[in-house]
Structure 1
């Protein structure tokens, strides 16, 4: 599911869900920019190419404790 709404402060709030059901949102000054982001995100989820932005945020300590080093 994806949606875009205009906030009272005249900023566009675009949000979409991923395969895991987690919601992601960003703010845009122009509606066309928000809609473009939603279109790209929806297409990547449908094609299976979506990568969660938080997936790459692993601390070195966690990485080390997993025995990867």
Structure 2
């Protein structure tokens, strides 16, 4: 089973950072969103890391070919 590495917080769109879009496919999320993990990012000593979410079709960040 292959897991994806989460992108850094600085490569995300505003909607992905705020939990409105799927971290993997960019589709708008609904009430069925699942946590994908924490996108890490530091600006100097300031921690900008944030929880990100995915569509239910992308459980645990599995790559497309392993689903």
Structure showing the higher helix proportion among its residues: 1
Q: Which one scores higher on RCO, CA 8 angstroms, separation ≥ 6?
A: 2
Q: State which structure, 1 or 2, has the greater radius of gyration over its C-alpha atoms.
A: 1
TM-score scaled by structure 2?
0.25
TM-score scaled by structure 1?
0.25
